[in-house]
Amino acid sequence: MNNRIRILLTTTAAVAALGVAAGARAEDTISEAIGASKPIFESSLRSESVDQFGFAEKAEALTWRNRFGFTTGEYEGWKAIVEVDSVEALTEDYNSTLNGKTTFPNVVDPEVTEINRAQLSWAATETTTLTVGRQRIILDDARFIGNVGWRQDEQTYDAIRLDTMLGPVKVTGAYVGRVNRIQGDDKDWKSNSYLVNASYSVNEALKFTAFNYSFDFETTATAPTAADIANAKLSSVSTTGLRAYGGAWVSAFKLNYVAQYAGQSPSGKNPAADFTLHETMLEGSATWDIYTFKVNYEILEGNGTQGFVTPLGTVHAFEGWADVFAAVGGNKTHPNGIKDLSYNLTVAGHTKPWAPWFMNPTLSVIYHDFQTDRLGQDIGTEWDAVLTAGITKNLSLMLKYADFERANPTMPASRTKTWIMLQYKL
């Protein structure tokens, strides 16, 4: 598959090169582009409490993330983004996985200051863009490739990325040389990985996406632990899949669906015996007025020693906010696989008179029922709830809660998590 990916990337580069003239903007100057730069500033103050079975201590984390930088204007299709993340722990009664406070439950928000993005992009044509450098990559719904944006220090990629249109097909191809993970430099991965994602729209009711993600990882830690080495290698997999999705109005209801199927096998330096595991996901939702009800059923297969993994995915949004699978049986999985049936009710009250004090308040409540794919064992159940609201145009408030109750002592530990967050975006 890697050779086909390299051919696709080379072809896309040729398409980009052919469009240089069309993409040039001779009327721009470098000084005008610099003068047109816009600042980036985000500030996130977050309290996270974790009460987890097996720990005498309750984790209490108060972290403050500031993200600042700038985006330049365009010069002949060229544009740059430079951005820095700085995360400070105002209280540190928690295990960041780096601070050695192992008597507390995990809150994976270590203190870190690093370059979050440093990218240069070139719009060769109206339909072709090349992006080089440290960048944010989110494909589809971030199930397989995302930025893990819930954590204070997001996941970014040192990569070369091409986005183009090949007739009616939108194609993204990327080579990733490093994964800048959420725990800072010492937990990052060296990468020799290829991403290909191609989508085609028949109409609003029927769209398709095909993808192949071939991962090959090694830890970058200067003094790696056995877990660092094993986690990177076991996350080296090749995943190929197909996604169909769309929506339509039926009377006063907006109906949407997603159907997804993917296969996975070891890749790169993965030491596991040859395996083939699959992911199947079906989702349907209906929106009426301010109410949206969604049902999602996902199966991640497992063979008893290895589960289907999504090492670059934003798992928090899919497998429950309590993050019970983040470190079980490998990377973000369970060795016997996971069956997750969830129900989600969202109420957006921005048009209603009962929400006069806040801007765009939204309430979501989610219920998960987890079982293993292999052996059909009950894992547990989880309730999640979140309320978000704008205080001003730039300042928002989030209240969030997760409660996972395990089915028996062999499963991940029961826990509750509570968040209070204030976020400012320029």
Question: How far apart are the C-alpha atoms of 123 and 399, rounded to whole Å?
Answer: 40
Mean of the pLDDT values across residues 315-331? 81
Q: Are 373 and 339 in contact (CB under 8 A)?
A: yes
Q: In the predicted model, what is the mean pLDDT of residues 285-295?
A: 96
**Cβ within 8 Å of residue 102, ≥6 positions away:** 95
Q: Are 26 and 407 in contact (CB under 8 A)?
A: no
Residue 417, beta-bridge partner list: 50, 402
411 forms bridges with which residues in the sheet? none
For residues 87 and 112, the answer to whether their CB atoms sit within 8 Å is: yes
- Provide mean pLDDT across the span 340-348: 97
Report the 10 Å Cβ neighbour count for 223.
6
CA–CA separation, 182 and 154 (whole Å):
5
Q: What's the pLDDT at 4?
A: 39
Higher pLDDT, 186 or 253: 253
Q: Check pLDDT > 50 for residue 266.
A: yes
Residue 76 CB contacts under 8 Å (≥ 6 apart), including other chains? 23, 24, 25, 26, 28
Residue 31 is which amino acid? S
Could you tell me which residue, 223 or 421, shows the higher pLDDT?
A: 421
Identify the pLDDT of residue 356: 56
- Average predicted confidence (pLDDT) for the chain: 90
Mean pLDDT lowest for which of 16-20, 51-55, 389-393? 16-20
86-97, pLDDT tens digit by residue?
999 999 999 998
What is the pLDDT at residue 33? 84
Which amino acid belongs to residue 274? D
This prediction's pTM: 0.90
3-state secondary structure the chain: CHHHHHHHHHHHHHHHHHCHHHHCCCCCCHHHHHHCCEEEEEEEEEEEEEEECCCCCCEEEEEEEEEEEEECCCECCEEEEEEEEEEEEEEEECECCCCCCCCCCECCCCCEEEEEEEEEEEECCCCCEEEEEEECCCECCCCCECCCCCCCCCCEEEEEEEEEEECCEEEEEEEEEEEECCCCHHHCEEEEEEEEEEEEEEECCEEEEEEEEECCEEECCCCCCHHHHHHHHHCCEEEEEEEEEEEEEECCEEEEEEEEEEEEEECCCCCCCCCCEEEEEEEEEEEECCEEEEEEEEEEEECCCCECCCCCCCHHHCCCCCCCCCCCCCCCCCCCEEEEEEEEEEEECCCCCCCCCCEEEEEEEEEEEEECCCCCCEEEEEEEEEEEEECCCCEEEEEEEEEEEECCCCCCCCEEEEEEEEEEEC
Whether 134 has a pLDDT exceeding 90, the answer reads yes
The predicted structure's pLDDT at residue 158: 98
* Residue 31 reports pLDDT greater than 50: yes
Q: Which CATH architecture has domain 2-425?
A: Beta Barrel (2.40)
Amino acid identity, position 407: A
Q: What is the pLDDT of residue 223?
A: 85
Least reliable range by pLDDT among 139-148, 188-197, 299-308, 331-340: 331-340
Residue 220 to residues 81, 180, 205, Cα–Cα distance (Å): 25, 10, 44
Query: 138-147, 311-320, 323-332, 364-373 — which is least confidently predicted?
Result: 323-332
Q: Kindly report the backbone phi and psi dihedral angles of residue 21, in degrees, each rounded to the nearest multiple of 5, phi listed first.
A: -60, -40
pLDDT at 417 over 50: yes
| Band (201; pLDDT cuts 50, 70, 90) | very high
On the question of pLDDT at 164 being above 60, the answer is yes
As a whole-number percent, the residues of the chain with pLDDT over 90 amount to 79
Q: Residue 340: which of 313, 306, 311, 315 has the closest Cα?
A: 315
